Structure 1
Amino acid sequence: MLLLTLYRGLTDVSAPAVRLLLWRRRARGKEDPLRFGERLGRAVLPRPKGPLVWIHGASVGEALSSLPLIERLLSDRPGVSVLCTTGTVTSAGLMVDRLPSGAIHQYVPVDRLPYVRGFLDHWRPDVLLLVESEFWPNLLRETARRGVPMALVNGRVSDSSFLAWGRYGRAPMRHLLGLFRLCLAQSESDAGRLRDLGADPVACVGNLKFAGPPAPADATELSRLRGPLSGRPCWLALSTHVGEEALAARVHRAVKAALPGLLTIVMPRHAVRGAAVREAMQAEGVTVAQRSAGMVPGPETDVYLADTMGEVGLFARLAPVVLMGKSLLGEGGGQNPLEPARLGAAVLFGPRMENFRDISARMLAADAAWRVDDEAGLVRALETLLRDEATRAAVAARGEAFARGEADVLDRVMVALAPLLDPVVSEAADARA
């Protein structure tokens, strides 16, 4: 508890530093200038009448995982509204576009007590469902102090987090996890780690990522781009991070020697990096057409830079082979391989898939994806899959079957949450009638 007390004290006196940090993030495009007040706990939208379920996820991955849950909550419980919070500009744009009627998006407040209290005073949630693994101490403790029941949904404990919590003492984490009335882990290994850190009760009913629908695509754009891509071998580097774009450009040059006419599509995880990504790839000697500048790939284009938001479904439908970003270089962790697999692409990923440890291991065991260990391995895999249509189709078919194989996970999650949700929602509805 000493660490949590120290943390609270530091955040109490940190207002000038926090504001400076937020302004610097805003200048770099990492904060929304039009909704900046939300990060300080200031809401501009009214609280909806009736029971309000608050669902929080850190960023894009958690937001996508929560969408089927939000839709089910709204359909199964008429009169209930959902408040969805995330912390990044990218996730906010995605949720504003995809949230169903009856759901509201807000930025989560920065974890200073005055901001958290302002947020809670306004929204007065009746229950909190926290998705995956973002444990902000002030936010959780103040929410619990107000008597709001909390559940961890699709809980995950990464290797680095598990080691860090062990290094700094497990008492703070045990205290925070003890605030949850239920913890639902996304895998048995995550369930074991949560128990080891002090969570109770813990259950594993499956990974919500399997409940996600296929990513949408604009039909007009899909038809427009299929023309320039017709007859060209093509692959997609999806959700790339720093260094992976230059790697993709080098791989393009190597594979193009064997497959003339090759088109490489690169979609950075953060679209705001578009200009830097273009420069990094051009420095590797490839020609780049940049989507955010209104360009389309021509016969001379080596790489199509898809530096836009919300178009994973478009480009994963266009490319028959997809490499998952954040899996080959740097700190790693990987991105969700189920997204392109659902759309019929043959999926590749590197050795750094810690954030999808269970899913990636199971996909490899089912031959539903291929692992490439380095740049040379990626070149070999692309040459094989882009030349051999039968092999590519077989990998893609197994991947699609795997991605759709646990669609009933949402039913199990809802059954597990019912003892928490039902009485809270009923009491809230009665109190506000």
Structure 2
Amino acid sequence: MPDPGPSPLQSSLPGAAAHFGAHVLGVAHASAGAAAEAGPGAASRVPASGGLPGLPVRPAWHVAEEAAVIRQPSPALERILRGPNGLGTLGLHFAPREDPPVGTEPPARAEPAAGRPIPGLYYHPVAEPDPGRVAEVSRRIKAWALDEVELFPEEWEDQFDGFLVGRYMVACHPDAPTVDHVMIATRLMVAENAVDDCYCEDHGGSPIGLGGRLLLAHTALDPLHTTGEYQPEWERSLHSDAPRRAYRSAMEYFVRQSSPSQADRYRHDMARLHLGYLAEAAWAQTEYVPEVWEYLAMRQFNNFRPCPTITDTVGGYELPADLHARPDMQRVIALAGNATTIVNDLYSYTKELAAPGRHMNLPVVIAEREGTSDKEAYLKAVEVHNDLMRAFESAAEALAVACPVPSVLRFLRGVAAWVDGNHHWHQTNTFRYSLPDFW
């Protein structure tokens, strides 16, 4: 597989590309020093759509009626957004991507139907993930799940395969230099879903006693420091059920590749996730339907945030802790998590309606609290998602201009890639998702 070159432009960061401005160009040019021009070969590293793949400047539902306008950044801007060059900047680019082993065959569901995007949803299409890399990640994650952590019984194998986690993570992390790096995210994703399914939802989950289960599982991520007498009992507990085995193992792999700061960042975001699980469980126990704003507050915690926040670890570099902690960076990450989670609410709507019990999602809450029809509530939830997406892109653009540090720009591209890859997986995973008949 050829070296893909430096970090590609990602479609969810259009404003930063279109409005970078002379000041930012000057700063970035100065940081590059007296580096040589990119040269003719650099053009092959830019997406064919002029550097901004699939970027409409109007809402997605207008694209069918009007030709999408794709902004063409100047050659100098393209060179800057491809990443820095010159002495000391090599580590800010992608590392060479490894080829999957010869003879690797894709799994049975590696080529699902394209699926139907939600009409009116604001999103950016992405290229199909590399099938060779998808096949290798899929092979490795199933071996890990079966052999290392004994994650699921035989009767759940079809659901595991149908999750298509290999396609998911390869699509979300195009800047991962090796399959080993993609596997960092893949194990964590599978472990998080095991906790959600087994503790909260489909496979024996219940709101009753959830806090205790989550607390003990969280110690697989954030180790218990106790006395010598009780330490062995805690260590044995980490192997007592599939979710804890998965958390423990996935975290061990993660800390080998991450810095202490990155690991602590992830633990913090997982504590946020578990807090969101507990809020939703409390409402389920009391049969409380939250106000729409309350539901969105819960979803800021019970959401995908832990996934894009590790984009630098998976990319093989580090966004320094002080830059990650900036309020404007925290806003970008929060909005990315919120938008991608509402995507899940929308695509999983019919799946949840068909499941036993009452599943709370944004369309259900809007219909209940605002007295609308199911269709009106669903279409309003699409608008909420679109507002969150545009807020994410605006916040990312503002941060790119305010802090044009190479690692910040690469991190923003990585988060944008995760946002787009997350939608791609939801749209194309027809094993799990289908759309309501509202159009």
TM-score under structure 2 normalisation? 0.27
Higher helix share: 2
Higher relative contact order structure (alpha carbons within 8 Å, sequence separation ≥ 6): 2
Higher strand share: 1
